[in-house]
Structure 1
Amino acid sequence: MSRRKSSTLTVCIAPALKEALSAAAAGEHRSIVNMVEVLTWDWWDRNGIAIPEQDALFNEDRQPPSAAPATNRGTKP
């Protein structure tokens, strides 16, 4: 399996939600895509869901995803 830095996800959302997301992203000097990532990572962190690092996903001798450590991704520097 080839390593990729990103993967495409296409979603349809209500126009009002898209406008709110765009405004939130602009308020934090982020792209809409990055804002979605930040919101998603935050929700996972708050709900105790561990997400494996990308390298762990492509490691042939990998542990199951539930055993992989959570990361703090998408935070503003």
Structure 2
Amino acid sequence: MATTKTQVFSVRIEPHIKVAMQAAAEREMRSLANMFEVMVVAYCRERGYPLPGVPDDTLPAPKPRKRAS
């Protein structure tokens, strides 16, 4: 099975938005990057935007997070 490399996508957001995203990610045991991906997929599906390569019936699974030492 061929895998594709992930790509970097940098954005600037207001601090209170980041805090909210971090809280949501922690509640769902996701990384902040994975939470962003989940939110984008949900947004696109809700509005009918095409998502080539993303299965129709699932959102990305939570990715394992590194534990603090």
Fold match (TM-score > 0.5): yes
Q: Which residue of 2 aligns with 1:35?
A: 35
Query: In the aligned structure 2, how far is the partner of 1:24 from the partner of 1:11?
Result: 18
Picking from 49, 59, 66, the partner of 1:73 is 59
Overall identity of the aligned pairs, in %:
31
Deviations 1:29-74 (A, max 9, x none): 00000000000000111111111118xxxxxxxxxxxxxxx64332
TM-score, length-normalised on structure 1?
A: 0.66
Query: In the aligned structure 1, how far is the partner of 2:50 from the partner of 2:29?
Result: 27
Structure 1 residue ranges without an equivalent (≥5)? 55-69
Q: Which residue of 2 aligns with 1:46?
A: 46
Query: In the aligned structure 1, how far is the partner of 2:61 from the partner of 2:22?
Result: 18
Q: Which amino acid aligns with 1:28?
A: E
Structure 1 runs (4+) deviating above 2 angstroms are 70-73
> RCO higher in 1 or 2 (8 Å CA, sep ≥ 6)?
2
Structure 2 residue ranges without an equivalent (≥5)? 63-69
Q: Which has the larger radius of gyration?
A: 1
TM-score, length-normalised on structure 2?
A: 0.73
